[in-house]
Amino acid sequence: MQQMKVGRQENKGRLAQQRSKAPMSRRKTVAVNASQLRVMISGAPAAGKGTQCANIVEKYNLVHISVGDLLRDEVKNASPAGKRAKDFMDRGELVPDEVVVDMVKTRLAQGDVQRSGWLLDGYPRSASQAEAIEKEGIRPDVFLLVNVPDELLIERVVGRRMDPVTGNIYHLKFKPPPHDVVDRLIQRSDDTEDKCKVRLDTYHKNVDAVIGYYKNLMVEIDGNQSMEKVFANISQVIDAVKAGKDPLEAFCQQVPEADECRVYE
């Protein structure tokens, strides 16, 4: 009996050695509970929000929903909401919030969104829109606000140029164009300092009103950093949200070497 006991202890020791030698990697955060993630992101024009949305979608596999794109698609597909929206657009009027909310609700109810979660880009843009989606129970797990000083935003906008041949976007200071394309570059009509200031003023008034609905969910992100650092900050926030929604995820962030947290390729 004593020999059997010793044998078990030896086996345990060998198993522990084998585990310590086995290849291990940290658990892939993105694979856990992504279907429940609901993220809103807001940022001023030229804050780099588009780049960060692409990064978020790539890492977390969320469905990116831009209301501008959604509106264009609904009108193009002549859906019931799209037809209503087109009537207002043809008359040169703004599309009412209730029409846009119907589009958002319909999109959020679709299968890919239900499976993968969502990233709502730049919406709501006003207090009335925030109130409208609140009434429909559309609420994020986190509201990301990308902040960049106005003077830097103006510099980013005013120095922006587009190549009409390739569609590539350059910046005279931050992303200088090749010498052979400089002469054909164009500047968008609204990429002037005066028009940028008007857009920023409108943005600040609207976002200040929207923030009131998401104070407890809002995390401000310093957008005056490299794109890589900005995304690293965003990732930390989203990972923390995921950990709070998933007890196993929270445990594995604390004890990544645990058996249930191992990743075997």
Q: Can you tell me the distance from the alpha carbon of 242 to that of 247, in angstroms, rounded to the nearest whole number? A: 9
Element (H, E) at 242: helix 227-245
Q: Report pLDDT for 214.
A: 95
What is the strand order of the sheet 118-121 is part of? Answer: 63-66, 118-121, 38-43, 142-147, 218-222
Measure Cα distances from 211 to 45, 142, 176, 206, 220 in Å: 17, 12, 36, 9, 11
Round to whole Å and give the CA distance between 181 and 197.
29
Q: What is the pLDDT of residue 131?
A: 92
Residue 240's alpha-carbon distances to 11, 14, 106, 213, 250, in angstroms, are 39, 36, 29, 21, 8
Is 174 a member of any domain?
yes
User: Active-site positions?
Assistant: 49, 125, 160, 188, 199
Single pTM value for the model: 0.75
* DSSP E strand boundaries for the chain: 38-43, 63-66, 118-121, 142-147, 160-162, 169-171, 218-222
Instruction: Flag whether 25 is in a domain.
Output: no
The count of structural domains within the chain is: 1
The most distant pair of C-alpha atoms in the chain lies apart, rounded to whole Å, by: 92
Asked if the structure places residue 2 within a domain, the reply is: no
pLDDT of residue 38: 95
Name the residue range of residue 105's domain.
38-253
CATH of the domain at 235: 3.40.50.300
CA dist 126 and 7 (Å) reads 71
Residue 17 is assigned to a structural domain of this protein: no
> Exposed, middle or buried, 97 (CB in 10 Å: 0-12/13-18/19+)?
middle
Segment (H or E) for 234: helix 227-245
The answer to whether position 16 is within a domain reads no
Residues 6+ away with beta carbon under 8 Å from 97: 126, 128, 129, 132
Give the SS3 label for residue 89: helix
Q: What pLDDT, on the 0 to 100 scale, is given for residue 92? A: 78
pLDDT of residue 251: 65
Q: Which residues are within 8 A (CB) of 222 and not within 5 positions of it... i.e. 6 or more apart?
A: 147, 230, 233
Lookup: tokens for 203? 């943005």
Residues of the chain with pLDDT under 70: 1-35, 246-251, 253-254, 260, 262-265
Q: How confident is the model at residue 248, as a pLDDT?
A: 63
Is 19 a member of any domain?
no
Instruction: With respect to residue 30, please indicate whether it lies within any of the assigned structural domains.
Output: no
The pLDDT of residue 258: 75
In a domain, 27, yes or no: no
Paired residues of 142 in beta bridges? 39
Residue 18's pLDDT is: 45
